[in-house]
Structure 1
Amino acid sequence: MPFTAIVVDDEPLARDELKYLLSFHPECQIIGEADNAEEALKLVVELRPDVVFLDIRMRGTSGFEAAKRMLSLPHPPLVVFATAYDDYAVGAFELGAVDYILKPFEPERLAQTVRRLSSFKSQSARWEEALERLSQLLEEGPPKLKKLPVEKEGEIRLIPYQDIIFAQAHEGEALVHTANEYFYYRGTLAELEGRLKNHGFLRVHKSFLVNLARIGGLVPWFKGTYWVIMEDDKRTHIPVSKAQVKQLKALLGLPCSPECCLAKE
C-alpha cells in the first residue's frame, strides 16, 4: 500500500542517493526533504508524512532527539533511521522496534524496508503497534553495544571491544588490530579514543591507542620511556610517550619511578 515520506540528512549527497533509490519504489511517495532536525519537524507538522527517513547523526539536534519530538506530535510518523555503522543502531533496531538502513545504502536492504512499511500501512493495527514500539525504544534511549563497526574489503564487521588489541593512526583514519587481522575504522584515532576510553583503552602515544587488558609486558627504553608488548600474534611493540608513562603504570598497578613521576602530563 502506498505511503508518503520525507528524507532528512545533513549531507546532500546522502539525501540525493536515498531519494534516487526510493524512486524505484512507486509505493513510497517522497513529499519533502530537510537537512536538519528543526526543518524536518516543521515538515512533519505541515505535510504529515507517514514515514521519515532520518539520519541519526546530524549537526545540532540528533536524529534520536528529533524522533522523540516527532512522536509527541498529533500525527506522528514512523521513523526509519539511517546510520553510518553506529554500534548501537544495529542491536537496537534488530529488536524489531523500528527499522534502519546502513550507509552506504544497499538497494535490496532498502527494498525490504519499503515492503515492510507498505505492509504496515495496509494494516492499521500493525502501524499503531510499530509506533508504540518506536516510542518505547526512544524513551529507553539508544543502547550502547560494546562492538566497533569496522570495514575490510567491502565488508562491514562489528568487533567486540575486548577483541581489539590496539589501534593506530593511518592517513586520517584508524587501523584497528585484533589478534591476527586489521580493519579500517572510518574515523580519526581521536574519535576512536573518545569511543573507547571508558572501556579500558589508553592513548599511550599520539599514534597509538591500546587495550590495557591486552598488554603482555613492558620494555624499558630511553630516558624513562617504555614500549608495551601487545598480545597479538606478532607481539607488536608500541612506544609509550614519556607523558603517558605515569598514567600507564598507575593503571597497570606498577610503581612509578621518580623519573616518570616528573614527566610532563
Structure 2
Amino acid sequence: MNILIVDDEPLARSRLRRLLAECAVNAVVTEAASAEQARQLAASLQPDLVLLDISMPGESGLQLAEAFASSALPPALIFVTAYPEHALAAFNVHPVDYLLKPVSLSQLQRSLQRACQLNRLQQQPPKLPLVSYQQAGLQKTVPLTEVLFFAAEDKYVRMQLTEQNILLDKSLHQLEAAYPQLLRIHRQTLINPLYLTAIRQPATGPALAELENGKYKLPISRRALSAVKHALQS
C-alpha cells in the first residue's frame, strides 16, 4: 500500500510516520509539505491512502481533497487536523475518517481498518456510461469515453468520435442532464474533459478549447472559461 502524508508541519508528519510504523502496516510512506508537492508526488506514486491536514499555507487540504476525489481512481482520504469546525465541509469529499490532533495509535489503527475494508458497492465494477443512437434503422450504443464532444447543428447534435461523427436526435440539454461528466464550454458545445489538452487565447476572438492535442479547436464562451480552466488543471 502506498500512503501519502500531507502536512506543512514536519513534527506532525514525523508523528504520523511513527504511528504508522507502530501499526505494522505493509506500506510505502511518502511525505509532502504542501498541497502543490502532494499533487506532484501523487501523479507518480498513485497513493492508495492520503493522510491529509486541512489548514496549510496556499492551497488548503480541502481543495486538494476535492482534486483527489474527482480523479478517475481516487485514493482513500483520512483528514488529520487540529480544527473540528472543518468536519462538515470535509465530509463532502467522502473521507474514510476525520481525526483530530494529537492522533492516538488506536484511533489511527481504526481508521486504517476502515480504509482497507471494501463494501459491496466498491467491489462491483462501475458501469460504463453509454450513448445510444439510431443508425440505418438500428439502435446502437457507444461508450461515452469514446466521445470527444457534442455540438449543436441546426435541428441535430453532432456526436464527434475519434474517427467519425454521428448525428443525434437529442438536445444538448438532454445530454448534459444524462451525462454530468460532460463540460459545457459554449451554448452550442459540450466536451468530454478527458480529451481537453489545452486552452488557447488568439489575438482576436474567443478562447479556444483544444481537444486531442489540437486536432479540434472549439470556442469557449466567457461565462464558461473559468470552469474550463479548472477542468484542465484537474
TM-score where L is the length of structure 2: 0.47
**Structure richer in helix, relative to its length:** 1
Max Rg structure: 1
